[in-house]
Structure 1
Amino acid sequence: MGLEVEVRRVQPYEANKAYVCPGCNRDIPSGTGHIVAVPVDAPDLRRHWHHGCWSNRHRRRPGRG
């Protein structure tokens, strides 16, 4: 059973803060377009992902991020 998540694309001009991507543990600098994944039942657990990391998240080994 999967967690229901709302996904939104953040445009570079909207990205005012830096974040750490849970897919690779690297920085997403401010001004960089990326993905925000928001769990429907827990919006405070939202995470910011690089586009490529989000696309490849199902290929990651368990225990990574």
Structure 2
Amino acid sequence: MDLATVAGWIGAIAWAATGDDAKIKTRCRALSTRKKILLALELIFVEAAVTGYAVFHHASHAGHLPH
């Protein structure tokens, strides 16, 4: 993991920790069910893509690809 990734995670955690929970809950409740589902799918897709990249990137540097 490079320094930019670590800095990004720290920044994201700090940003999330300082959010106004009441405002976030109000905005989330205002979303339609369709938008909530699309948001969840987007988050799942992004997490899968990042994880897949990390596994592939690590394996390619180790001299072999995963089976």
Same fold (TM over 0.5): no
TM-score, normalised with respect to structure 1:
0.23
Normalised by the length of structure 2, the TM-score is 0.23
| Structure whose alpha-carbon radius of gyration is higher | 2
- Give the number of the structure with larger relative contact order, counting CA–CA contacts within 8 Å between residues 6 or more apart: 1
